[in-house]
Amino acid sequence: MDIDKIVTEYPNGWSISDNNLISTIRRKEVTVKVNQIISHLSDFLHWLVGAVPEEERTLCMEIGLKEGGSHLVWKQLFSTVISIEKQIGSVCRFAVGVKEPERSKIIWGDSTSVTCRYHVESVLEKPLDFLFIDGDHSYGAVEADYLNYAHLVRPGGVVAFHDANNYDVIKFLRHLRSGEHFTRDVPLEFDYGDNKLEIAAFIVPNKEEDEKPD
């Protein structure tokens, strides 16, 4: 699994590894309160580890790095974590001094762009086990992130949406659940209506299950 190929440059942004960034920028690593995040996500994390067995938790991708707290949480569960972030300041603050840089990969670019999607598709050598969508929360951006990357998640893997109580995210999830704007309805197995974590998620069905008539 050669995820290091993600360090290539592409037109609408740059894809960089922690090692490359650390060699050029010297700043103190941002302190992230990971324990607080784990506590906040406790119910979802228990559901996630039950949905994806440990031996199948190898590759995770999140959209939206921000301060890097969730990246570090996913890193405790998955062998390699990829984050897409369009704010270079967030990329720099997080990447400098990060531990085990070979397990953290950062893509600097706009996740909603077709160029970024093509770039990710071209460098991944295996499907994702988990996709966490937490970027721009406008309807168009959530839809673009879903259409750009959900197909990269293997059957049995998980797609999750953060801030699922946001108006536009709720609207998107309603359309996703009903199949109104998509090829078929998607049942949300961990729903914002059943928890206070503002997270909705579903397990990607096997192709045979997906092709079953309603």
* Sheet order of strands, 199-203 included: 9-10, 13-17, 104-108, 80-85, 59-63, 128-133, 153-162, 199-203
Q: Which residues of the chain are under the pLDDT cut of 50? A: 1-32, 211-214
For 198: left if phi > 0, alpha if psi spans -120 to 50, otherwise beta; the answer is left
- The three-state secondary structure class of 153 is strand
- Residue 46 maps to a domain: yes
Q: How far apart are CA 132 and CA 63, in angstroms?
A: 6
pLDDT tens, 17-57? 444 433 333 333 334 456 677 777 888 888 999 999 999 99
Split into its structural domains, the chain has a count of 1
- Residue 104 maps to a domain: yes
Range of the domain at 46: 17-210
- Residue 11 maps to a domain: no
- Residue 7 maps to a domain: no
Q: What is the number of other CB atoms lying within 10 angstroms of the CB of residue 176?
A: 24
The CATH number assigned to the domain holding 196 equals: 3.40.50.150
Can you give the pLDDT at residue 183? 61
Give yes or no for a contact between 44 and 190, defined as CB atoms under 8 angstroms apart: yes
Backbone angles phi, psi at 112, to 5 degrees: -80, -10
Can you give the pLDDT at residue 210? 52
* Structure-token pair, residue 41: 């996500």
- Strand ranges inside 25-162, DSSP E: 59-63, 80-85, 104-108, 128-133, 153-162
- Residue 8 maps to a domain: no
Can you give the pLDDT at residue 208? 59
- Residue 30 maps to a domain: yes
In eight-state DSSP terms, residue 194 is G
Q: How far apart are CA 167 and CA 137, in angstroms?
A: 9
- Residue 100 maps to a domain: yes
- Residue 174 maps to a domain: yes
- The three-state secondary structure class of 44 is helix
Q: What is the pTM of this model?
A: 0.81
Can you give the pLDDT at residue 6? 32
